[in-house]
DNA sequence: TTATATATTAGATATAATCTAAACAGGTTT
DNA sequence: AAACCTGTTTAGATTATATCTAATATATAA
């Protein structure tokens, strides 16, 4: 898969973000990753190439990209948060055993009933499934609970 | 609302957990809370009464209660995780502005398509809505995005 | 090219959660 | 009741994760 350099720059500019080498590297790395790396993993991967980004820069850029709506942050119980370029809409699957986060094809989720919602204003919804990923699932699934 | 002392003890015993004063206090506090407190808040609240629990004990017990399936942990981006006694099934609403976590009435969520799911084994699903809570929502909602 | 607002940096600091090893307390057995 | 065993609690140290600081550098517009 080839990354469109200009497309990244345009989407950064469109959010009022300058395209610096460090910021570009973070965005490009997230877009080419199928997995959902942690900040530490992004830091390491981006610095394996060049230029060297500091830890603070990685965090700053992730914050900016999340605020701009270009990246999604997935909080994990206990472990470090994972990040995900918001290419196409999708749901998430988190493996109980290895902790990996995987994308599931998007489909619409019914809204809560108006009565239950009250005066709250909805902005977005996130659907997370948990269980065992393909690698961690036993050959013959012992029990399909859900 | 009155808490059924024996019911708590029975549910602890049913999960193979001894009912110690500290553990009982954590469970009872979570059950009488409509909000979803952080570990630090639980620590403070439980110790306002007695006996004094150490921070480690709060974390130990929360871990045990989560493992036993009596409590749910809700990871938050950036902030401390929040905890929630699993009384009845429900979804969650998280306020973008004040960070509060509120319960929404449960309703069934459609499973992912078999093709998208592959060999993964599902255990549970979590549906999280985000937006503005009743307190934070403007009088006349400026924009209902979702 | 120059001005200027924005971005980057290393290292210190803050925050959240876990670990450690010793002491303690239920429940059981003798 | 005493001894026993296992699970629990404890204070404080430690780790892990993320943010802050203030000096320096860079991208972009004029």
C-alpha Rg value of chain A to the nearest Å: 18
More confident residue, B89 or A139: B89
Residue range B97-132, pLDDT digits in tens: 888 899 999 999 999 999 999 999 999 999 999 999
User: What is the per-residue pLDDT for A145?
Assistant: 52
Q: What is the mean pLDDT of residues B3-24?
A: 89
N-terminal to C-terminal alpha carbon distance within chain A: 35
User: What is the per-residue pLDDT for B28?
Assistant: 95
Contacts of B144 in chain A (CB under 8 A): 121-122
Query: Residue A66's closest chain B neighbor by CA?
Result: B77
Q: Which of A77, A102, A123 is opposite residue B146, by nearest beta carbon?
A: A123
Query: Which residue segments constitute the domains of chain B, with CATH numbers given?
Result: 1-86 (1.10.10.10), 88-146 (3.30.1490)
Q: What is the mean pLDDT of residues B56-79?
A: 95
Between A and B, how many residue pairs show a Cβ–Cβ distance under 8 A? 133
Contact between residue B29 and residue B45 where contact means Cβ atoms under 8 Å apart: yes
Residue range B16-50, pLDDT digits in tens: 899 999 999 999 999 999 889 999 999 999 999 87
User: What is the per-residue pLDDT for B139?
Assistant: 61
How far B52 CA sits from the closest chain A CA (Å)? 25
Say how far apart CA A69 and CA A89 lie, in whole Å: 12
Q: What is the β-pairing status of strands B90-95 and B101-105?
A: antiparallel
Please give the nucleotide, over all strands, whose C1' is closest to the CA of residue B16. Answer: D7
Q: What sections of A5-130 are H helices per DSSP?
A: 5-14, 21-32, 39-48, 55-67, 114-117
Q: Which residues of chain A have pLDDT under 70?
A: 1-3, 139-146
Q: What is the mean pLDDT of residues B51-60?
A: 93
Asked whether the beta carbons of residue A121 and residue B131 sit closer than 8 angstroms, the reply is: yes
Is the pLDDT at B53 greater than 70? The verdict is yes
pLDDT interval class at B60 (50, 70, 90): very high
């Amino acid at each position: 898969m080839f990354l469109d350099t200009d497309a990244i720059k345009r989407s950064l500019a469109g959010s009022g973000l300058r395209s610096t080498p460090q910021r570009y590297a973070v965005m490009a790395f997230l877009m080419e990753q199928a997995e959902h790396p942690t900040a530490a993993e992004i830091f390491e991967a981006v610095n394996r190439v060049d230029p060297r980004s500091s830890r603070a820069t990685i965090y700053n850029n992730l914050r900016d990209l999340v605020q701009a709506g270009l990246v999604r942050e997935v909080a994990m119980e206990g472990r470090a948060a994972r990040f995900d370029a918001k290419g196409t809409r999708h749901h998430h699957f988190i493996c109980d055993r290895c902790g990996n986060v995987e994308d599931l094809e998007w489909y619409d989720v019914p809204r809560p009933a108006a009565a239950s919602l009250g005066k709250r204003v909805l902005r977005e919804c996130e659907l997370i499934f948990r269980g065992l990923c393909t690698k961690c699932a036993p050959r013959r699934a012992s029990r399909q609970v859900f």
